Every structure is written in C-alpha cells, then in structure tokens.
Amino acid sequence: MDADASEPRTFKLTIAYDGTGLVGWQRQPEGTSVQGLLEDALTRLTATAGVTVTGAGRTDAGVHAHGQVASVTLATRLGPADLQRGANALLPPAVRVMSVETADATFHARFGAKEKRYAYHAILGPVLSPFDARYAWHIPYPLDVAAMRAALPALEGRHDFAAFQSTGSDIEDSVRTLTEARLDETAADGGGTRLVLALAGDGFLRHMVRAIAGTLVEVGRGRWPAARMAGILASADRAQAGPTAPPHGLFLVSVRYC
C-alpha cells in the first residue's frame, strides 16, 4: 500500500480481459465489472479513496478485449511498472493490465480516442471446439462468404448507423465513420471455418458491431441480397437490420489516440 503519496499523475492503462461472467466494462449495482475490479485494485494498491478509472469504450456483458485503454489519475509514488505489477497481483486472472504509461494530465481515454478496432469471431461447421466456445459464435450451417464480403463496402465511410444501434441508447448523434470493414476467413479447429469481421472507426454505437454481424449472417444465409445493406443503412431503422449477434464473439482489439 502506498501510504506516502505524491502529486497526482495521470496514467494510461492498456487492459485485456475475458468478459465471460462479467457484466461488462462499466461498474454496475449488481455483478462484477472490469471497471469495478480495476478501481478496487488501484484503491487497495495506492490507499487512495475514490479512484475512478475511465475506459475508452463500455464493452457489454460477455464481450472481451485485447486492448481496452483506460485513464486514471492517482496521487502515488509508484511508477508505471510497480502499478502494473501491483494491480495484476490484486486482479483475477481474467483481467490483466498489459501496460501502464505516464500520460499528460489532459489525457482522457474516452474523449481522446481517434479510432477503435473491433473483431467479431464466428465458427462455421457442425462441431465447435470447446476452446472456441467462449470466444466465437457457433454457426452450424453454411454461409455465402462472398455475398457477405460484397455487402461490406456500403458500411465504409461516414453514415448514420442508427439502423445498427440497439434501442434504449441515450446517444443522440448516431453518425459515425468506418474506416475499415473486412471479413477474414481461416481454418478452425475441428475442420470448420473461422470468420472474423474486422471493423475500425471513430466510434461505435451500442451493439453496433454485433448488429452488423447479425445482418451479415442474414446475407450469408441467402435471406437478403448483399445490396440490401445500403438500404438498411439508409433507413436508420433498427427493425430493418438483422438480429444482434451474441456477445461472446466480440473483442475490442485496440484503441488509437494519434
């Protein structure tokens, strides 16, 4: 515990976590959150009350992260390496602080983010490996991957993505810019196929990636033509898009600040 604290400093944390069993990033009245675990660990480590950790994005329950970024201001003599080591000693194995850096006092993990990258994983095939069960959506029927790829260019650029935003969000401006929309295909364990939907943009709406993934699967099943994607986007109507894909296939990959 860091009883003899110094002047407050701002730190940038990069965090990885397995979202299985967690209520998501944001602290909730009930359940275990990533934010709550980090705040509790840093409070114990620095003997500082009221520690607030701000994340770049609020991942939902069951969603994972390779490179979530958070900012926190602490009055502590501990350096970045000691904070990383001490926090990881107090955190459960499902949450790891991958790096800690001293940041400018104005650094804000959420408002300073320039680009976020997400990846949604799905496994096509009759059998899902138990090692993929927590990290990919199992789709046991074939999909037309070429048609799914043909639907993606309509999403790139600056658009109103309201058609892919879940109801109940308090966000008023649903205009976002996607700089990349790509679908990769590789072999999966058990003889199946792994599909990875990679999306990058300046911001994402609630359940936006999962709604896009669910819509692409409808295209892949032949229920909708690839050209329908542009019309769904233009409609700004969530009812026109496909179902929301399950959370456990989604990963926040990285956040860029410059």
What are the tokens at 237? 């109507």
Rounded Cα gap, residues 108 and 94, in angstroms = 25
Answer whether residue 119 is part of any domain.
Answer: yes
Boundary-marking domain end, from 103, 127, 152: 103
**Helix 208-220 × helix 228-235 angle, to 10°:** 150
Boundary-marking domain end, from 39, 74, 103: 103
Answer whether residue 66 is part of any domain.
Answer: yes
Residue 190 binned pLDDT confidence (cut-offs 50, 70, 90): confident
pLDDT at 191: 83
Element (H, E) at 73: strand 64-75
Instruction: Report yes or no: 16 and 67 within 8 Å, Cβ to Cβ.
Output: yes
Q: Is 6 exposed, middle or buried (0-12, 13-18, 19+ CB in 10 A)?
A: exposed
How many domains are there within the chain? 2
Write out pLDDT tens, residues 29-39.
999 999 999 99
Same domain, 39 and 121: no
Looking at every residue in the chain, the average pLDDT score rounds to 95
Provide mean pLDDT across the span 183-208.
Answer: 95
Radius of gyration from C-alpha coordinates of the chain: 20
60 is an active site residue: yes
Write out pLDDT tens, residues 117-150.
999 999 999 999 999 999 999 999 999 999 999 9
8 vs 191, which has greater pLDDT?
A: 8
pLDDT at 227: 97
pLDDT at 1 over 90: no
Interior/surface letters 166-189, b for 16+ CB within 10 angstroms, e for the rest = eeeeeeeebebebeebebeeeebe
Write out pLDDT tens, residues 230-252.
999 999 999 999 999 999 999 99
Answer whether residue 108 is part of any domain.
Answer: no
From the candidates 60, 104, 202, 237, give the one annotated as an active-site residue.
60
Name residues whose C-beta falls within 8 Å of residue 189's C-beta, 6 or more positions apart in sequence: 129, 131, 132
Answer whether residue 3 is part of any domain.
Answer: no
Answer whether residue 2 is part of any domain.
Answer: no
Answer whether residue 127 is part of any domain.
Answer: yes
DSSP assignment string, 182-248: EEEEEE-GGG-EEEEEEEEES---TTHHHHHHHHHHHHHTTSS-TTHHHHHHHHT-GGGS-PPPPGG
Answer whether residue 220 is part of any domain.
Answer: yes
What are the tokens at 208? 């936006």
Which range (42-51, 63-72, 148-157) has the least confidence?
42-51
Write the single-letter amino acid at 220: G
pLDDT at 88: 98
180 secondary structure, DSSP code: E
Boundary-marking domain end, from 103, 129, 161: 103
Write out pLDDT tens, residues 63-102.
999 999 999 999 999 999 999 999 999 999 999 999 999 9
Same domain, 184 and 96: no
Write out pLDDT tens, residues 214-225.
999 999 999 999
Same domain, 214 and 129: yes
Answer whether residue 1 is part of any domain.
Answer: no
40 secondary structure, DSSP code: H
Give the strand pairing for 250-256 and 64-75.
Answer: parallel
Q: In which domain, by residue range, is 83 found? A: 8-103
Rounded Cα gap, residues 244 and 62, in angstroms = 14
pLDDT at 89: 98
Residue 4 binned pLDDT confidence (cut-offs 50, 70, 90): low
pLDDT at 179 over 90: yes
pLDDT at 5: 55
